[in-house]
Amino acid sequence: MIVNRDIIIVGLQPWDIEIGSNCKNIALEFSKHNRVLYVNPPLDRLTSFKKSNNPKVLKRKKIIKGNEPELIKIKDNLWNLYPKTIIESISQLNVNFLFDILNKENNRRFAKEIKKAINQLNFKNYILFNDNDIFRSFYLKELLQASIYVYYIRDNLTAVDYWKKQGVRIEAKHISKADVVVANSHFLTNYAYKYNTHSYFVGQGCNVSAFNAEIKHKVPHDIRKIKHPVIGYIGALKSLRLDIETIQYIAKKKSDYSIVLIGPEDETFKKSNLHSMENVYFLGNKKENELPAYLSTFDIAINPQSLNTVTIGNYPRKIDEYLAMGKAVVATKTDEMNFFSDYVYLAENKEDYINLIDKAFAENSEQKQKERIAFAKKHTWENNVKEIYKRIEEIEKKNDRNQPLKKSRLKEKLITYPKLKKLILYLLSPKNQARPRLWVKLFLNPFKHHIGKGAHICRRTRIDVMPFNNFYVGNDTTIEDFTTINNGVGDVIIGDRSRIGIGNTLIGPVKIGNDVRLAQNVVLSGLNHNYENVKKPIHIQGVSTKPIVVKNEAWIGANAVILPGVTIGKHSIVAAGSVVTKNVPAYSVVAGNPAKKIKQYYPKSGKWMSTNSLKIKNTARMIQISKKNAV
């Protein structure tokens, strides 16, 4: 079981969706023992125009304008983020390279908003859980640098027109690069396994505490006058997923039965002949907490699923909800529905539905109801999430074991095959130059390195950063012209609201805190050249490194040099022209070559005192003590 972790969830369904959502239920279960950030899909440009008067679109536009908060606390350990951005509508583009360019830009906009929330909530070492979002989240693994990336597949979306053009190509790559893939059906597990061997069936959850047959519900007013027996369906009424012809056939053949359909309709359902049939009742969409009351009134529950490439691997969560309330269920037979064959009547055609409805009525008993309920209770969200945790933990353990092995193997290969090392370096940077090639700057560094919100790197800087070490610039930080930064032998990390002055040189490993000021021509180098072997030129003896740390609020004067291994304490000052060879205590001033402490702040007196005056006072005090002892 995973506890005390930070988990980020992205996916297809926003928190304010009107129908039941696997992802929301999983998020609630995650949040019992972990901190969870649930990220709504960003608003796309086409939707913002087409549905400009939709209340949900209007809400998102207000958030983008800053009129409403984007980060909302749902409950303890659970936050919901409305991304404060608009992305481009690109799903129907046919040209692959153009789609990839625009999709990468969409992902960057999306990731930028998620990073703001990550910083605000101080999420660390987080798990990224993607609920089947093929396009918008394709690059998030690289952009957010999550410790584990989980791709959750619960629908064969590549068969849907919206995703079909680019989805087949993109989802295969998406599955391939995930650390672990979890699926709610065996069909989808087998599909994912073709691209990633770390693909696992984790089953489906059901809110059995809400769909509880023992709870006596008040009969909703709009179903109260509908005569029994009632054959009912609850869920989205979409022609892509439901067979309208089968429902019409049932209504016609069972004219003495009431057919009750609950859920939002698509245009095809709205225009169907079902609306003209006297024994068919459309009750509209209902809130999730109202559904058990409606389901309690059904005599028979049905799932007349269409058979197509979209639904073939679908695990219908409504079946567990029906069974949890002990209802007799008749459903269309699929490979996945065979899982329910001992508890559900499976129809192969519309004629079967009529016979099986009669059979379900005839065989219904208290014992059968108990068996259905017991079966459904095994499919809780708690058990579902336990399976997800199990697969994540397996991958994390494997990664922990393999990480040092991978690094040592890579190091061994580079030592054993110097030509390989030369080739890699040649691909990353030009010969005899400590700067990256243009393709590294354009296509690798943006995914590896972080530039914070409001940060500004002036145009005439030399940012020689490589993808194999970190380069991080915090929010509202400025790097002035003619500064050189190199992370070739160690990370360069710069905190929030710091300023790197004109003509500075930063060679990693260097870590600079928040609110730090570096004046002009300051040098911080965590690198030293080895020189001990007098028979070899120094430049071929390699280098050694010791990290430099500059803590919050420090101020380093012009032309100062900070040598490897030095830590500059909080709120300390290094005078102009100083060469710092040793650690500088917090709240002190150092100057000279080598730098020595000349002032220190004393909290008791609330004053900065020079070290010379302190020496005089200490000497006078010692003389007084000596005189007293002599007397």
Pairing of strands 492-494, 471-473: parallel
What is residue 335's predicted lDDT score, i.e. its pLDDT?
A: 82
How far lies 536's CA from each of 100, 137, 434, 532, in Å?
A: 50, 52, 22, 9
Residue 400: inside a domain, yes or no? no
- At a CB cut-off of 8 Å and minimum separation 6, what does 160 contact? 167, 240, 310
Q: Are residues 125 and 233 in the same domain?
A: no
Catalytic residue, from 228, 275, 456, 529: name it: 529
- Residue 456 phi, psi dihedral angles, 5° rounding: -135, 120
Residues 150, 269, single domain; the answer is: no
Instruction: Supply the pLDDT for residue 430.
Output: 85
The owner of tokens 């989980």 is: 150
For residues 286 and 192, membership in a common domain is answered with no
Q: Does an H or E element contain 22, and which?
A: helix 22-30
Indicate if 280 and 240 belong to the same structural domain. Answer: yes
Q: Given pLDDT bands bounded at 50, 70 and 90, which one contains residue 624?
A: low
- Same domain for 101 and 22: yes
pLDDT above 70 coverage of the chain, percent = 94
Does 395 reside within a domain?
no
Mean pLDDT rounded to a whole number for the chain: 90
> Does position 519 have pLDDT exceeding 90, yes or no?
yes
Contact 62, 68 (CB under 8 A): yes
Q: What is the pLDDT of residue 453?
A: 87
Q: Which tokens is 234 given?
A: 């609850």
The pLDDT value recorded for residue 441 is 84
Asked if the structure places residue 14 within a domain, the reply is: yes
Answer whether residue 584 is part of any domain.
yes
- Looking at the structure, tell me whether residues 278 and 318 fall in a common domain: yes
Q: Residues 248, 134: one domain?
A: no
- Read off the tokens for 609: 């005192």
pLDDT, one tens digit per residue, over 299-330 is 999 999 998 887 877 888 899 999 999 999 99
Is 571:554 a contact under the CB 8 Å cutoff? yes
Q: Does residue 440 sit within a domain?
A: no
CATH number at residue 481: 2.160.10.10
Residue bearing tokens 């691997």: 313
Q: What is the predicted pLDDT for the residue at 356?
A: 97
211 assigned to some structural domain:
no
Higher pLDDT, 196 or 20: 196
Number of folded domains that form the chain: 3
Whole-number pLDDT of residue 192:
94
Exposure of 386 by Cβ count < 10 A (0-12 exposed, 13-18 middle, 19+ buried)?
middle
Cα–Cα distance, 438 to 621 (Å, whole number): 65
Using alpha carbons only, give the angle 492, 466, 179 rounded to the nearest 5 degrees: 95
**Domain end position, chosen among 167, 201, 235:** 201
Is the pLDDT reported for residue 516 higher than 90?
A: yes
Three-state DSSP class for residue 8: strand
Task: Decide: residue 445, CB within 10 A, 0-12 exposed, 13-18 middle, 19+ buried.
Answer: middle
- Residue 395 CA to residue 160 CA, distance in Å, equals 31
**Span 33-89, pLDDT tens digits:** 999 999 999 999 999 999 999 999 999 999 999 999 999 999 999 999 999 999 999
> Same structural domain for residues 195 and 226?
no
Catalogue the long-range contacts made by 475-478 (C-beta closer than 8 Å, 24 or more residues apart). Answer: 475/119, 476/452, 477/452
Residue 124: count of CB within 10 angstroms of its CB:
10
Residue 121 has a pLDDT of: 94
Report residue 297 as tokens: 């009134």
27 and 92 fall within a common domain: yes
Residue 1 is assigned to a structural domain of this protein: no
Whether pLDDT at 409 is above 60: no
Per-residue pLDDT for 619 more than 80?
Answer: no
Domain limits for position 11: 6-201
- Pairwise CA distance, residues 463 & 461, whole Å: 6
Q: Where among 320, 346, 377 does a domain terminate?
A: 377
Which of the four pLDDT bands, split at 50, 70 and 90, describes residue 239?
Answer: very high
pLDDT of 173 higher than 80: yes
**What phi and psi, each to the nearest 5 degrees, are found at residue 608?**
-90, 125
Split at pLDDT 50, 70, 90, the class of 347 is very high
pLDDT score, position 229: 96
Clarify whether 450 is annotated catalytic. Answer: no
pLDDT digit string (tens) for 128-164?
Answer: 999 999 999 999 999 999 999 999 998 888 888 888 8
163 and 246 assigned to the same domain = no
Same domain flag for 23 and 76: yes
Q: Evaluate if residue 202 carries a pLDDT over 90.
A: yes
Query: In which band, very low, low, confident or very high, does the pLDDT at 196 lie, cut at 50, 70 and 90?
Result: very high
Nearest to 254 by CA among 229, 222, 283: 229
Note whether 371 and 459 are same-domain residues. Answer: no
In a domain, 436, yes or no: no
CATH code of 307's domain:
3.40.50.2000
Q: Are 528 and 547 in contact (CB under 8 A)?
A: no
Is it the case that residue 402 has pLDDT exceeding 60? no
